[in-house]
Amino acid sequence: MKNIKLEVSYDGTAFHGFQVQPNQRTIQGELEDALQRLTNQPVKIIGSGRTDAGVHAKKQVCNFKINHSMPLSKWPVALNALLPEDIVVNSASEVPLEFHSRFDVRQKTYRYSIYHHTYVNIFRRHYTWHYPYPLDVEKMKAVSKVFIGEHDFTAFSSAKTTVENKVRKIYAADLWKKENEIYFQITGNGFLYNMVRIVVGTLVEVGRNKMDPEEVMELFEKKNRSLAGLTAPAKGLTLWDVQY
Amino acid sequence: MKNIKLEVSYDGTAFHGFQVQPNQRTIQGELEDALQRLTNQPVKIIGSGRTDAGVHAKKQVCNFKINHSMPLSKWPVALNALLPEDIVVNSASEVPLEFHSRFDVRQKTYRYSIYHHTYVNIFRRHYTWHYPYPLDVEKMKAVSKVFIGEHDFTAFSSAKTTVENKVRKIYAADLWKKENEIYFQITGNGFLYNMVRIVVGTLVEVGRNKMDPEEVMELFEKKNRSLAGLTAPAKGLTLWDVQY
């Protein structure tokens, strides 16, 4: 029995998220289907975490256990030949049998992209939130640093969140503008449901001068979702990296 | 009667090219349809030139004549509200009645993108030619300069080309690699059918050491299409700029 770890990228546009759901096109579903066709065995994959419908991944990690003699280097090519064009396997490696893609995550990085211009950028429309109104990017940049450290992110998570402990540690948070795109990149030990998208929605409230930096900081104490910004659209979000 | 010039961008992936064709989704067709719905008049647009199925435009130019009182600044917003999400109007301006988008072109710029890596880049798959084999980029860069100047491009045009004069003047040609993408950008007074794609196909033959620089130069004399490289895929090509 081998434990194989895959690094995959996907364009989330045409998926109902990562996790298998009946009668829906999901990343996990497509990967398990390709693995089953390749190996003639039912295969269950474990992802580093779910991503929502429309959310992309530059690097998502998953693993599966299998008895199969195919050399490691052949797995990506063989799987890519069977996968649809919006998922690609970038690498395969063998890991200890006890490795678990979700439990063993040390840190994750997400990047959010806002296209800040009057008109849509046709080539980035599936990968950015088109925001045509004025934004104070310098103010957003300053407030982005507020998230660094250990905080209670209750106010920045969906009401649907079921986990009890809503404290997460953020190691890095950066916001910068290049040409017409504003990027927000955040690295932490874990993220709650919709957390990055609500943080971005809140940063946009700051950028349009609807919220002060102090009000953002108070949200860690107030723990009230309704005081934070709206949930930014899924399509601007990309799972950028997962570290073990 | 006004003559209105539009600058438009489009993602060519889901179009059968620019020019109207019966029962096919085309850029001209969508623009004329949106104009007709907006103005309640049949409108015929003139483009700077056709683009093939799958070819994109960062800046395509077209014009149309109309009797309509809407202020100029309203045209882009009103049209974008009616257009599908893969076409966007970036500007509208009033031009002299004699202005003609095709006849008055002074120069055009095209950019071709090759994604040069083992695996596909999911986010660039519709906008690049995925080429996973070794390429001598320095050699391609040197040979890209061969196209500058006035040359007979018969060998670099589709057999379907109907124009008689196949001499075109190239003002600039650059090739460079950034991260995993190779870009080829070319500016000239005009381009024959499939010309940029055949030039790129030929540069790739050079990059894989199947053609010498001398053989490329000789093609201007030999005028034999079958001696040039294959036609590179449409999806890597973008009409970048049109100047008047």
Q: How far is residue B162's CA from residue B160's CA, in Å, rounded to a whole number? A: 6
pLDDT single digits (tens) A153-210: 999 998 887 888 999 999 999 999 999 999 999 999 999 999 999 999 999 999 999 9
A66 within domain boundaries: yes
Residues B229, B149 within the same domain: yes
Q: Would you call A52 a catalytic residue per the annotation?
A: yes
Query: For position A25, which CATH number holds?
Result: 3.30.70.580
Q: How far is residue B219's CA from residue B229's CA, in Å, rounded to a whole number? A: 11
Residues A10, A90 within the same domain: yes
Query: For position B169, which CATH number holds?
Result: 3.30.70.660
A102 within domain boundaries: no
For residue B119, the distance in angstroms to the closest alpha carbon of chain A comes to 6
- Dihedral over Cα of B48, B18, B198, B164: its sign: negative
**Would you state the pLDDT for residue B159?**
82
Q: How far is residue B165's CA from residue B188's CA, in Å, rounded to a whole number? A: 15
Q: Are B20 and B199 in contact (CB under 8 A)?
A: no
**Would you state the pLDDT for residue A160?**
80
> Which chain A residues are within 8 Å of B10, Cβ to Cβ?
122
Asked if B56's CB is within 8 angstroms of A119's CB, the reply is: no
Structural domain containing residue A133: 107-243
**Would you state the pLDDT for residue B150?**
97
A100 within domain boundaries: no
**Would you state the pLDDT for residue A159?**
81
ipTM given for this complex: 0.86
Q: How far is residue A4's CA from residue A96's CA, in Å, rounded to a whole number? A: 9
Residues A239, A191 within the same domain: yes
Q: Show which of B95, B121, B137 is a domain's final residue.
A: B95
Q: Tens of pLDDT along chain B (244 residues)?
A: 999 999 999 999 999 999 999 999 999 999 999 999 999 999 999 999 999 999 999 999 999 999 999 999 999 999 999 999 999 999 999 999 999 999 999 999 999 999 999 999 999 999 999 999 999 999 999 999 999 999 999 999 988 878 889 999 999 999 999 999 999 999 999 999 999 999 999 999 999 999 999 999 999 999 999 999 999 999 999 999 999 9
Residues 6+ apart with CB under 8 A from A231: A158, A194, A197, A198, A201
Residues A11, A128 within the same domain: no
Residues 6+ apart with CB under 8 A from A161: A192, A193, A194
Structure tokens at B109: 């710029």
Nearest to B88 among A11, A87, A122 (CB): A122
Residues B134, B79 within the same domain: no
What residues in chain A have per-residue pLDDT under 50? none
B127 is in an annotated binding site: no
Asked if A127's CB is within 8 angstroms of B123's CB, the reply is: yes
Q: Show which of B41, B70, B95 is a domain's final residue.
A: B95
A149 within domain boundaries: yes
Residues B111, B188 within the same domain: yes
With an 8 Å Cβ cutoff, the interface of chain B facing chain A consists of 9-11, 56, 58, 76, 80, 85-90, 119-123, 125, 127
Half-sphere exposure of B191 (CA within 13 A, CB side): 27
Q: Are A14 and A26 in contact (CB under 8 A)?
A: no
A175 within domain boundaries: yes
With an 8 Å Cβ cutoff, the interface of chain A facing chain B consists of 9-11, 56, 58, 76, 80, 85-90, 119-123, 125, 127
Residues A114, A235 within the same domain: yes
**Would you state the pLDDT for residue A161?**
78
Residues A124, A208 within the same domain: yes
Which H or E element spans position A114? strand A107-115
Q: Show which of B71, B95, B119 is a domain's final residue.
A: B95
3-class DSSP assignment, residue A198: helix
